[in-house]
Amino acid sequence: MNEQSANTPLSKGSKTKEKILKHSLKLFATKGYKATTVRDIAGSIGIKQSALYNHFKNKDEILETLISDLTSSAIVTLFANKDASELHKDGKSLLMGIATTFKLLSFDGQNEALFKLLMQEIFRNERIREIYNEHFYQENVKKLSGIFFAMMQEEIIKSSDPLLLANEFFSPLFFYQMQVSLLKLDKKSTSSVVSLFEKHVEYFWDNVRQEKTEGLFQ
Amino acid sequence: MNEQSANTPLSKGSKTKEKILKHSLKLFATKGYKATTVRDIAGSIGIKQSALYNHFKNKDEILETLISDLTSSAIVTLFANKDASELHKDGKSLLMGIATTFKLLSFDGQNEALFKLLMQEIFRNERIREIYNEHFYQENVKKLSGIFFAMMQEEIIKSSDPLLLANEFFSPLFFYQMQVSLLKLDKKSTSSVVSLFEKHVEYFWDNVRQEKTEGLFQ
DNA sequence: AGAACAAATGAACACTTGTTCATTTAAATA
DNA sequence: TATTTAAATGAACAAGTGTTCATTTGTTCT
**pLDDT(B9) > 90:** no
Which structural domains are found in chain B, ordered by start? 10-66 (1.10.10.60), 71-208 (1.10.357)
In this prediction, residue B81 carries a pLDDT of 64
Per-residue pLDDT band at B189 (split at 50, 70, 90): very high
Residues β-bridged to residue B157 = B209
Lowest mean pLDDT: which of A158-172, A181-195, B8-22, B45-59?
Answer: B8-22
> Does the CB of A51 sit below 7 A from strand D?
yes
> Does the CB of B11 sit below 7 A from strand D?
yes
Among B186, B203, B212, which would you mutate to test the A interface (most chain A Cβ atoms within 10 Å of its Cβ)?
B203
Angle between the N-to-C axes of helices B162-185 and B191-208, in degrees from 0 to 180, rounded to the nearest 10: 170
CA separation (Å) from A15 to A18, A20, A26, A105?
5, 9, 17, 25
Q: Residues of chain B with pLDDT > 90: what percent?
A: 77
**pLDDT(A200) > 90:** yes
Mapping DSSP to helix (H, G, I), strand (E, B) and coil, where does residue B177 land?
helix
Q: Which residue of B has its CA nearest to A127?
A: B186
Residue range A63-89: average pLDDT?
80
> Does the CB of A212 sit below 7 A from strand D?
no
Query: Tell me, in Å, how far CA of B116 is from C1' of C17?
Result: 26
**Which of A119, A203, A211 is the closest to B168 by Cβ?**
A203
How many contacts does A have with B, using Cβ atoms within 8 A?
103
Closest by CA position to A166, among listed A49, A81, A78, A74: A78
* Protein residue at shortest CA distance from C1' of C9: B48
Closest by CA position to B65, among listed B77, B56, B74, B73: B56
Q: Chain B within 8 Å of A124 (Cβ-Cβ)?
A: yes
Q: Which residue of B has its CA nearest to A184?
A: B123
Largest CA distance in chain A: 78
Lowest mean pLDDT: which of A10-19, A140-149, A185-194, B22-31?
Answer: A10-19
**Which nucleotide's C1' is closest to B46 (Cα)?**
C8
Residue range B39-65: average pLDDT?
98
Angle between the N-to-C axes of helices A92-106 and A109-121, in degrees from 0 to 180, rounded to the nearest 10: 90
Mapping DSSP to helix (H, G, I), strand (E, B) and coil, where does residue B30 land?
helix
Closest by CA position to B179, among listed B115, B95, B100, B85: B115
- Cα gap B32→B37, rounded to integer Å: 10
> Does the CB of B45 sit below 7 A from strand C?
no
